[in-house]
Amino acid sequence: MSGLTAAINAGATSLDVDQTTIEVIGNNISNMNTTGYSQQNVQLSSYPSLTMGSFFIGQGVQVQDIQRAHDGFVTNQLQNASVGLGYANAQTDPLTQLEGVFNVTDNNIATNTDNFFDAWQQLSTDPSDLTLRSAVIQQGQNLARSFNTAAGSLDTITGNINNDITSDIPQLNSDISQIAALNQQIYSTGANGQSDNAALDQRDQLAQSLSQSLGVSTYLDNNGMMAVQLPGGLPLVQGTTAMTLQEVTNGSNVSLQLNSAGVVRNLSDSDFGGSIQGLLDVRDQTIPTALNNLNTLAYQISTQVNTQQAAGGGLDNSTGVDFFNAPASSANAAANMTVTLTDPNKVAAGAAPTGTTTVAPGDNTNALTIGNLGNSYLINGTDTFDSYYANITATIGLATSQNSLAVTGSQDAVTQLKNMQSSISGVSLQDQMVDMIQYQQAFQASAKFLSTVDEMMNTLSTAITT
């Protein structure tokens, strides 16, 4: 009789295991399109055997654990690849905006520079013509405005980057806090000998997101808790403790700090990776370089034209008159560039008068000299105004082109790793259907087995009673 009782236990455990496995299969099928979901598999083990005479009889089967299909190496590789993708993606918009500032269309600084010096050349054909003199002033104003607009656009792009960084902070802190909370949840579940697969998947997804945003690296401690740290080594998550990021206004820019239990530490650009580093690099390196070059160009045009303008004479015999405002240095020269000369008679088209001489109405010597400044190698002795601007434009264009290649390469790497991860952790509908049929038949066989044992027990009970 005890043997039949053991058989009933074996059949009952089999039914329970088959039912649980079918439920897990159903959950896999339900989540086959869920982002970040890893296929779950039932791990089975036998109950300890029962000694019956000289034999050991099994007592059935039990669910040892429900584990997810997971490859830690591929997951880490995907996190690393996400860092590069985040960096490249973050730079795409600001670099595109920069390229728009230094465009190669008909309305840019180079075109306005050419129009300005062409106006001086036109004036040289009739130096006494007030209309041509006014045209010189007007083209100078157009040139100054183009520099003002470009400098203002760079400030706008910088402000947009600061806004992007600031807007990202709440979500980043939320992700950091969630990982710490999931660490506690996963640890508590593991202490009971179980795996919280949904929490593990969610934690991996958050880690990948933080890798793309901040360039973080992760590792598991002895308790299975995920430690998260910035590229510079500063911790964001330790066990169940989450640090927080906070922004602080630093002049016209935004800088970041790390708050760890009330202890605040200033962070530098080198402490980050991913999209935040990409934004900071454009803001703190690319844009300042472009602005410095723009200021240099504005300074050189202003001072070179002013020097030659002051050396000539106007129709009213005026000398020493600046055309543009005189910048003390190249700092902010583009933003502050204006035309200070308003009287067409003071446009110095001729040579400066000496002694009792006056400027002849037809004297065009100075107009020709200023008109030729556009073709002179006045910047470092190697560049004309146009070629210097072309170098600025080429540098921005090259950065944009390289960024486009980096985005494509990083995206391909991430896609390849995601496909690899999917082949390991993704749900195969075909495999799940085969498993479902297998365990459905096993369930039916277990039910039939229990029915047979029940009939045997009824027969045995009848025989005993009679």
Could you tell me the CA-to-CA distances from 399 to 66, 89, 203, 410, 413 in Å, in that order? Answer: 49, 13, 35, 16, 21
| Whether 150 and 193 share a structural domain | no
| Whether 232 and 92 share a structural domain | yes
If you search the block for the tokens 């934004």, which residue do you land on?
A: 279
| Whether 218 and 351 share a structural domain | no
Please report whether residue 245 resides in a domain.
Answer: yes
The pLDDT tens digits for 435-457 are: 899 988 888 888 887 778 777 77
Q: How far apart are CA 351 and CA 314, in angstroms?
A: 8
Please report whether residue 320 resides in a domain.
Answer: yes
The pLDDT tens digits for 390-428 are: 999 999 999 999 999 999 999 999 999 999 999 999 998
| Whether 180 and 92 share a structural domain | yes
pLDDT at residue number 448 = 84
pLDDT at residue number 213 = 97
| Whether 139 and 182 share a structural domain | no
Which residues lie across from 248 on neighbouring strands?
255
Please report whether residue 407 resides in a domain.
Answer: no
Average pLDDT, the chain: 91
| Whether 369 and 238 share a structural domain | no
Cβ distance 140 to 323 under 8 Å? Answer: yes
| Whether 108 and 88 share a structural domain | no
Q: Please identify, among 250, 273, 296, the residue that sits at the C-terminal boundary of a domain.
A: 273
pLDDT at 2 over 70: no
Please report whether residue 410 resides in a domain.
Answer: no
| Whether 269 and 290 share a structural domain | no
Domain count within the chain: 3
Please report whether residue 57 resides in a domain.
Answer: yes
Please report whether residue 322 resides in a domain.
Answer: yes
pLDDT at residue number 359 = 83
| Lowest-pLDDT choice from 135-144, 196-205, 324-333, 447-456 | 447-456
| Whether 180 and 264 share a structural domain | yes
Please report whether residue 163 resides in a domain.
Answer: no
pLDDT at 107 over 80: no
| Whether 82 and 186 share a structural domain | yes
Cβ distance 213 to 279 under 8 Å? Answer: no
Q: How confident is the model at residue 104 (pLDDT cuts 50, 70, 90)?
A: low
Q: How confident is the model at residue 3 (pLDDT cuts 50, 70, 90)?
A: low
pLDDT at residue number 447 = 84
Q: Please identify, among 273, 294, 314, the residue that sits at the C-terminal boundary of a domain.
A: 273
Domain span at residue 368 reads 101-155+286-401
Q: How confident is the model at residue 192 (pLDDT cuts 50, 70, 90)?
A: confident
Convert 256-317 into a string of H (helix), E (strand) and C (coil): EEEEECCEEEECCHHHCCHHHHHHHHHHHHHHHHHHHHHHHHHHHHHHHHHHHHHHEECCCC
Angle at Cα 440 formed by Cα 437 and Cα 446, nearest 5°?
140
**What mean pLDDT do residues 180-197 have?**
91
| Whether 124 and 111 share a structural domain | yes
Please report whether residue 279 resides in a domain.
Answer: no
pLDDT at 42 over 70: yes
| Whether 185 and 318 share a structural domain | no
Q: How far apart are CA 145 and CA 329, in angstroms?
A: 19
Q: How confident is the model at residue 368 (pLDDT cuts 50, 70, 90)?
A: very high
pLDDT at 343 over 70: yes
